[in-house]
Amino acid sequence: MTDLIEREDLRDRTRVFADRQHAGRVLAEMLVAYRGSNALVLAVPAGGLPVATELAQALSLDLDVAVVSKINYRGNPASGYGAVAFDGTVQLNEPLVARMGLAERDIHKDIQRTNRTVQRRLSLLGNKRDHLEVASRPVILVDDGVASGITLRVAVDAARGQGAKKIIVAVPTGQRASVEDLAGRVDALYCANVRRERPFAVADAYKEWVDLVDEELSALLTAQSVPD
């Protein structure tokens, strides 16, 4: 059975992190066993990058990005029903697709639009660093939270396809059912703040919550030094 490591003192609480940077430091304390190892931290932009930056710095680990974008119906952010990863991996929430009654042509268009978003973000962030090798090393996938879990499931599949030796997911907060499902797909999952509530909002774990633009992500990566 996959390890699910949580902070019992933070269970079912809200507003437990000052911001994403604070959340990253809390996670670093939970993953101290990886300090100075050859593990690679892969941040899922946008919200996962400031969390991952703090974690990587605290543990002296390499940092890179795993670009994933949700598939939204006709660009509506509230209607996510799947995700596309940096390597072209696609996952759909099939039960939700069935309930929405989406036509194949509309799904195809949405995937194409999402893939363009992924490629644009890859181009922007990839220009700031030489991407690090994933194959044959442990990978720590980091996001700022887990709601449905579709984004991280796609990221896990993509990292596995790149030859990751071991896959660990580290998130500050997550909905229990989604976290437990995701834990069954990886070698270990660290989630500081597991909550049972539905509907679940990642933002409720943070006192300060802001949306991040690509220029801020680029600046974060530029500021993060990467060993040769």
d(CA 45, CA 66): 7
Domain presence at residue 221: no
The per-residue pLDDT for 79 is 66
Domain presence at residue 121: yes
The per-residue pLDDT for 226 is 43
d(CA 87, CA 124): 16
Contact 68, 146 (CB under 8 A): no
Domain presence at residue 21: yes
Domain presence at residue 52: yes
Contact 134, 19 (CB under 8 A): no
The per-residue pLDDT for 22 is 97
Domain presence at residue 104: yes
User: pLDDT of the chain along its 228 residues, tens only?
Assistant: 468 999 999 999 999 999 999 999 999 999 999 999 999 999 998 889 999 999 999 999 999 888 999 898 776 666 688 999 988 889 998 888 888 888 899 999 999 999 998 888 888 776 445 556 788 899 999 999 999 899 999 999 999 988 898 999 999 999 999 999 999 999 999 999 999 988 899 999 999 998 776 666 767 776 765 444
Q: Which domain holds residue 102?
A: 3-133+147-195+207-216
Domain presence at residue 67: yes
d(CA 83, CA 111): 8
Q: How many domains does the chain have?
A: 1
Query: Sheet holding 90-92: strands in order across?
Result: 68-72, 80-85, 90-92
Domain presence at residue 159: yes
Do you know the residue count of the chain? 228
User: Which CATH number do you get for residue 14?
Assistant: 3.40.50.2020
Q: What 3-state class would DSSP assign to 186?
A: coil
Q: Extract the tokens encoding 89.
A: 């991996």
Domain presence at residue 112: yes
